[in-house]
Amino acid sequence: MSYLTVSNATKQFGQSFMALNGVSVAVERGEFFTLLGPSGCGKTTLLRSIAGFNDLTSGEITLNGANLRVVPPHQRDIGMVFQDYAVFPHLSVFDNVAFGLKPRKVPAAEIKTRVTQALDAVRLGALADRLPAAMSGGQQQRIGLARAMVINPQLLLMDEPLSNLDAKLRIELREEIRDIQKQVDIATIYVTHDQEEALAISDRICVMNAGRIEQVGTPQDIYGNPQTRFVAEFVGTLNLFNPGAALDAMLGHLGLSAAGAAAWAVRPEHLGLIASGATAPADAAVLDGIVTKFTYLGREAHVGVETPAGNLVVQLANPGMAASRAAGEKVSVVVPQSAPMAFDAEGQRLGRKG
Amino acid sequence: MPRFNFWTVVMILTWLLLFVLLFIPVGSVLVSSFYDQSGNPTFANYLKFLGEPRFHQAFVNTLVVGFGGLLGALLLGSIMAFCVSRFVIGGGRFVSLLAILALVSPPFIGAYSWIVLFGAGGVVRGFLRDLGINMPPIYGVGGILIVFSLKFYPYVYLMVSGALSNVNRSLEEAAEGLGLTPLQRTFKISFPMVFPALTAGGLLALIHAIADFGTPRLLGRGYNVLATEAFTLYSAEVGSNMSMATTISVILILVSMVFVMLQRYMSRRNVYHGNMINKPSRIRLKGWRNVLAHFAVYFIGLCGAMPVIISVIYSFRKTSGPVFQSGFALQSYERILFNLGDVVRNSLTFSIAAVVLIVIVGTVVGVLVARRTNFNTALLDGAFMVPYVMPGIVIGIAFIAAFNTGPIVLTGTATIIILSVFIRRLPYTVRTTASSLRQISPSMEEAAVSLGYSPFQAFLRITVPLIVPGIIAGGMLSFVTAINELSSSLVLYVGSTMTMPVRIYLLILDGDFGTAAALSTVLLVLSGCAVYIAFRFMGRNEQALL
Ligand SMILES: Nc1ncnc2c1ncn2[C@@H]1O[C@H](COP(=O)(O)OP(=O)(O)OP(=O)(O)O)[C@@H](O)[C@H]1O
Ligand SMILES: [Mg+2]
């Protein structure tokens, strides 16, 4: 049995709204597990039921084999990091971090060493005696992190801890969180709606949508092998082909088919561009088209191309000066044989033949 | 669950409290107004109100002093707010101290100080007469309006200067960029932005003006308003007419209800905050403009604080009986010490008792309102509006109507005075506690729970320390209101429960200004200390005095 299990969790708000609708997840010891999904999909609801701040309508939660639902929240021994930091403004940084050690009856001398260690780990050692009120968001969240970790909880929960910080700090701090988590080796559930963040720090990601789980897997799985159209679209971007003769011709050329396919799609970075009329590489099809838009982003460039099989975005890595395209230019889009993905009418990924 | 039971008990007790201290008194006033003196149901009281010119006059006069006070306060308050927030004024902190002084000194002190200066035997008037300038004494409606304007302008000043310093300068710059002249800019951009604050502050002045009893009583000389009319009818030695007094109380409640509703509506609209990156800056005026701005600000400020200054000075003057002699002495204070110790003691014990009650009950009920939304707290919130529309005189009459006979008899006790202050000030504390609780993120307590504290401990160790400074500050401000309360105490006191404001009022009627001034000074010092402590706990926040 896994370290933390949630089985068949449902949570109903009001008469009929289901914030969680049959969610089951299993988290292993020391694992960094991320809940990823759009706003309102139930991530916070799931996290808070694990913390005990709201009770499930039905379902089971076990931690280390014990039923968690009968334990009151303050006895669950679960550390939590909040989106709004929730740092206690009337306590010094040191006292904030020491706060959770007091009810655990840790001797004063040990409190001192443990808090000092935790503060050093989040690089706040020098600010121990200050009041947190005037500190920056990044510093406050570091306090929150140290405070949750120092009690050596059985489980660490973080609800969008970085979403109130600016982009650069977000990247910096997420690396730190990841490193510290590996050091202390506490199983962690991390909530975010930022796909890049999820890919960067997780051991496994659970993608949620409308109170259900879409897919659970490693970052590589989620990105490279999405099991549903929702996952493919939410994590990364997706080009959908228009159904019709052009698509059929292309699939025929590549020798691809899937029974019951309702939609074919391809990721922009799997596509290539060649000059109009140039010969296609082996194991690939070409679609002739006209450039509609060129967006230069430094590390990459996005080229919008109107083809008979639909409007496709082609992502070019490391575009040089020469890669620039003008609207109206004739080009051919290269679709490698491995690239297209098929989905059925419910959005489930289908296996391909060919 | 025990927690649930605790809050249910609190809820029931709160309703019980409101029932006894609010619904029964208000109900008694209403019922009494529909009975005649011998206990037969009748509409005669209202017909009499409609029929008698004297009551018409009182009604009209009430509106006159209300709107007059509103206009005066608007004029003085907005001039002061505009100058202070747009121009560099030397000693700006001193100016707002003057406004605070005007705000915390009870209005009847103002009335009597102006009598000292401009009354029949007034100092300034006498001086002017020696110069050959004859001015009429200050009595009558003119005097009342001057006192109200100078007493209530801080409401407008504080609200409007708050709003003005929140008008984003970019807006005015944008208007400038669009080619509007400075005058157009003021009327099209700044004015609409501060309009809600202007009206809200003005209406606050109006509400206080129509509720005030001491000023028209001392200065009016026959200029009757509803508040004085109700008091006269109630207190007449011969032919006291409780039915008519309650009828007038009902009318007064209805009138203030209209304006309180309007005021609340305008204050809610007062929400232009926007981003404050581009704070308005103050212009340094040059030449005569600078002199004019300084003159305006200091003139208003000093006139508003004049009663305080006068009573402090006069409290140290030498007296012979009630007559002032030249030179200074501590006689007036000696008189307080030897003859009026019990009055000071009464005031202190009643106020402290009321404040302790207000703080405890107000905090618990505030937590209830903020945290237990599943209860019918909206209704509770509405019920707490009622004391806002009850002028002190009406509360007094209502308490007499309710607790003179029947199951609970409290007339003549200290309890009734304490409770009357308590119920008037309780809503304020409930509201401030609830709103400061709503500002504390719930994740703060959740963090403590996740760290191993039970919900109750989390509340005690996290939430309570965070709201306590605000509660202490609120308690201090309640103390200021409690110790300065005249009108309800005037209805409710008996010889042994006389308070300082009542004594001052009686001393002024007796013409003993020296002792009145000394007693007023004591009152001011106590109020000043309380305000100082409040500001120490919550930062200097004049807005909290509103
Ligand atoms: N106390 C509540 N009462 C009613 N509905 C609620 C309550 N809490 C959450 N919901 C609803 O449940 C759904 C899931 O909410 P939840 O907070 O779990 O979303 P989320 O995935 O965390 O979203 P976000 O990324 O915006 O934080 C939302 O539609 C929300 O409106
Ligand atoms: Mg959320």
Q: What is the ipTM of this complex?
A: 0.86
Residue B98 CA, chain-centre distance (Å), reads 16
Mean pLDDT, residues B201-225: 89
* B371-382: pLDDT as tens digits: 776 656 667 777
Q: What is the pLDDT of residue B366?
A: 87
Inter-chain CB proximity B447 and A147 less than 8 Å:
yes
Residues A287 and A301 in one domain: yes
pTM over 0.80: no
* B73-95: pLDDT as tens digits: 999 999 998 888 888 888 878 88
Q: Exposure of A49 by Cβ count < 10 A (0-12 exposed, 13-18 middle, 19+ buried)?
A: buried
- Which residues in chain B are contacts of A89 at CB distance < 8 A? 466
| Distance between CA atoms of residues A254 and A268, nearest Å | 18
Q: What is the CA radius of gyration of chain B?
A: 25
Mean pLDDT, residues A280-302: 90
Q: What is the pLDDT of residue A309?
A: 93
Give the minimum alpha-carbon distance from A64 to chain B in angstroms, rounded to a whole number.
18
Residues A118 and A88 in one domain: yes
| Cα distance from N-terminal residue to C-terminal residue, chain A | 39
Residue A15 CB partners (closer than 8 Å, separation 6+)? none
Residues A208 and A313 in one domain: no
pLDDT at B412 over 60: yes
Pocket probe mutation, ligand 1, options A10, A35, A44, A213, max atoms within 8 Å of Cβ: A44
Residue type, B1: M
The protein residue whose alpha carbon is closest to atom 5 in ligand 1 is A13
**Mean pLDDT lowest for which of A250-259, A289-298, B314-323?**
B314-323
Q: Residue B2's pLDDT band (boundaries 50, 70, 90)?
A: very low
| Distance between CA atoms of residues A349 and A342, nearest Å | 6
Q: What is the pLDDT of residue B1?
A: 40
- Which residues in chain B are contacts of A83 at CB distance < 8 A? 443
Q: Which CATH class is domain B1-24+320-546?
A: mainly alpha
On whether the CB atoms of residues A57 and A134 are closer than 8 A, the answer is no
pLDDT at B430 over 80: yes
Pocket probe mutation, ligand 1, options A15, A16, A17, max atoms within 8 Å of Cβ: A17
- Partners of A286 in the β-ladder: A334
On whether the CB atoms of residues A305 and A333 are closer than 8 A, the answer is yes
pLDDT more than 90, % of chain B: 29
Residue type, A99: F
Q: Which residue of B has its CA nearest to A150?
A: B451
Single residue among A170, A204, A234 that ends a domain in this structure: A234
Residues A183 and A262 in one domain: no
Domain spans in chain B, listed from the N-terminal domain onward: 1-24+320-546, 55-315
Residues A71 and A183 in one domain: yes
Residues A212 and A247 in one domain: no
The candidate with the shortest Cα–Cα distance to B113, out of B328, B316, B301, B305, is B305
**Mean pLDDT lowest for which of B121-130, B425-434, B474-483, B517-526?**
B121-130
Mean pLDDT, residues B395-420: 88
Q: What is the pLDDT of residue B109?
A: 79
Tell me how many degrees the CA angle A121-A93-A159 measures, rounded to the nearest 5: 70
Mean of pLDDT over chain A: 92
**Mean pLDDT lowest for which of A107-111, B225-229, B301-305, B542-546?**
B542-546
Tell me how many degrees the CA angle A69-A73-A76 measures, rounded to the nearest 5: 75
The third-level CATH classification (topology) of the domain covering B55-315 is MetI-like fold (1.10.3720)
Check which CATH number belongs to the domain holding A83 and give it: 3.40.50.300
pLDDT at B236 over 50: yes
pLDDT at A231 over 90: yes
The residue to which tokens 């927030």 are assigned: B85
Q: What is the pLDDT of residue B279?
A: 62
Q: What is the pLDDT of residue B374?
A: 62
Mean pLDDT, residues B424-433: 87
Q: Residue A133's pLDDT band (boundaries 50, 70, 90)?
A: confident
> Six-digit token pair at B340?
């009026």
Shortest CB distance from B444 goes to which of A53, A83, A88? A88
Mean pLDDT, residues B356-370: 89
Residues A142 and A179 in one domain: yes
pLDDT at B9 over 90: no
Domain membership of residue A14 as a residue range: 4-234
Query: Which comes out higher in pLDDT, residue B221 or A264?
Result: A264
Largest CA distance in chain B: 82
Query: Which comes out higher in pLDDT, residue A321 or A213?
Result: A213
Q: Residue B544's pLDDT band (boundaries 50, 70, 90)?
A: low
The residue to which tokens 């007036």 are assigned: B332
pLDDT at A273 over 80: yes
**Mean pLDDT lowest for which of B209-223, B279-293, B426-440?**
B279-293
Tell me how many degrees the CA angle B398-B401-B403 measures, rounded to the nearest 5: 100
> Six-digit token pair at A287?
């679609």
Residue B321 CB partners (closer than 8 Å, separation 6+)? none
On whether the CB atoms of residues A221 and A214 are closer than 8 A, the answer is no
Single residue among A208, A234, A260 that ends a domain in this structure: A234
Residues A316 and A203 in one domain: no
| Distance between CA atoms of residues B481 and B541, nearest Å | 17
| Distance between CA atoms of residues A28 and A4, nearest Å | 7
The protein residue whose alpha carbon is closest to atom 6 in ligand 1 is A13
Tell me how many degrees the CA angle B104-B109-B113 measures, rounded to the nearest 5: 125
* B477-486: pLDDT as tens digits: 899 999 999 8
* B263-322: pLDDT as tens digits: 888 777 655 554 445 566 777 888 888 899 999 999 999 999 988 888 898 889 888 777
Single residue among A212, A234, A256 that ends a domain in this structure: A234
Instruction: Name the domain count of chain A.
Output: 2
Q: Are strands A78-81 and A155-159 parallel, antiparallel or unpaired?
A: parallel
Q: What is the pLDDT of residue B3?
A: 47
| Distance between CA atoms of residues B255 and A261, nearest Å | 74
| Cα distance from N-terminal residue to C-terminal residue, chain B | 40
The candidate with the shortest Cα–Cα distance to A283, out of A255, A315, A245, A323, is A255
Mean of pLDDT over chain B: 85
The count of other CB atoms within 10 Å of the CB of residue A172 is 13
**Ligand 1 within 6 A of A41 CB?**
yes
**Mean pLDDT lowest for which of A173-177, B218-222, B376-380?**
B376-380
Q: What is the pLDDT of residue A352?
A: 85
Q: What is the pLDDT of residue B277?
A: 53
- Which residues in chain B are contacts of A86 at CB distance < 8 A? 441, 443-444, 446-447
Mean pLDDT, residues B491-505: 91
The protein residue whose alpha carbon is closest to atom 26 in ligand 1 is A39
pLDDT at B52 over 70: yes
Q: Which residue of B has its CA nearest to A91?
A: B462
Check which CATH number belongs to the domain holding A254 and give it: 2.40.50.140
On whether the CB atoms of residues B317 and B514 are closer than 8 A, the answer is yes
| Distance between CA atoms of residues A36 and A47, nearest Å | 12
Shortest CB distance from A89 goes to which of B448, B453, B466? B466
Interface size, chain A vs chain B, as Cβ–Cβ contacts under 8 Å: 61
The residue to which tokens 């929140």 are assigned: B166
pLDDT at B452 over 70: yes
Q: Are strands A78-81 and A239-240 parallel, antiparallel or unpaired?
A: unpaired
| Distance between CA atoms of residues B459 and B442, nearest Å | 10
pLDDT more than 70, % of chain B: 92
Q: What is the pLDDT of residue A276?
A: 85
- Which residues in chain B are contacts of A74 at CB distance < 8 A? 449-455, 458
| Distance between CA atoms of residues B44 and A326, nearest Å | 92
| Distance between CA atoms of residues A350 and B218, nearest Å | 92
Output helix, strand, coil percentages for chain B, rounded to the nearest 5: 75, 5, 20
